[in-house]
Amino acid sequence: MLRAAAGVGRGYKRELMNLLDLQQGQTALDVGCGPGADLPELAERVGVRGTVIGVDRDPAMLIEARRRTTDLSAVEIREGDAHSLPVAPRSVDRAKIDRVLMHVVEPADVLAQLHSVTRPGARIGLAEPDWDTLAVDAEDLGTSRAFTRYTTSEVVRHATIGRSLARHAEQAGFTVETVIATAPVFLDFQDADHTLGLGRNLQQAIQDGHIDEERGRRWFTSLSEGSFFASFVLVSVICSR
């Protein structure tokens, strides 16, 4: 499992939030809100007359999201699945899905749900990585490539959905307004290890026979020593209903 970025790569979130063009009094939906990192900013942008609905299927995430927004009267946290959103039809003015479609069973069904709960004229922001583009600098380039291949084929369900995001949005009936590709850069090994699951997924890749144990361990040790670089492409799509 690839975890949410902490400090790295937050720039795309700011851009997505700005392009959503939230207005005071609107209803905003965050599908797969996770621990609620974006809910306070959504609440600030829609103001006290507005509503922010955060939906996630993971109760542990929702506890954290509730804790984070306990003083924000505009925010409602709802437990639910993105394939069957607990939201009234045509009730949402602004919606975002950030690094969730790569995990769901059927992205097309989730986008169809999103279409049904948004109002005509609504604006929607989507952001998903393309893990095929994960580049980890190492002298042993073969193992870096094997790690990326393993991530794409075994770790993430829809690992290359970033490149198909605009197409999926159009197929769901949205009009694509803007497509942006950004490349978060990791220069800190610990940060990358936490966010990209370097050690965790390497261990799995070794166990599954995709990477030789000794070579994998040498690769990982070399990453932790000296300067570090890793990056991948993340695609954001802004569309309207």
Ligand X SMILES: C[S@@+](CC[C@H](N)C(=O)[O-])C[C@H]1O[C@@H](n2cnc3c(N)ncnc32)[C@H](O)[C@@H]1O
CB of residue 185 to ligand X, shortest distance in Å: 18
Residue in the shown chain whose Cβ atom is closest to ligand X: 34
Shortest separation between residue 104's beta carbon and ligand X, angstroms? 4
Closer residue to ligand X, CB minimum distance, 56 or 193: 56
- At closest approach, how far in Å is the CB of 106 from ligand X? 9
Nearest residue (CB) to ligand X, 100 versus 136:
100
Nearer to ligand X, 106 or 139 (CB): 106
Whole-angstrom Cα distance, residue 34 to residue 65?
Answer: 7
68 backbone dihedrals φ, ψ, rounded to 5° = -70, -25
Write the DSSP string, 169-238: HHHTTPEEEEEEEE--EE--HHHHHHHH-HHHHHHHHHHTTSS-HHHHHHHHHHHHSS---EEEEEEEEE
Residue 132 or 140: the one with the smaller Cβ distance to ligand X is: 132
Contacts with ligand X, residue ranges (CB under 6 A): 4, 32-34, 37, 56-58, 61, 81-83, 98-100, 103-104
Query: Between residues 157 and 167, which has the closer beta carbon with respect to ligand X?
Result: 157
Q: How far is the CB of 43 from ligand X (least distance, A)?
A: 15
Structure tokens at 23: 């207005």
Q: Write out the H or E segment, with its range, that includes residue 64.
A: helix 59-68
Minimum gap (Å) between residue 81 Cβ and ligand X: 4
3-state DSSP percent of the chain in helix, strand and coil, to 5: 40, 25, 35
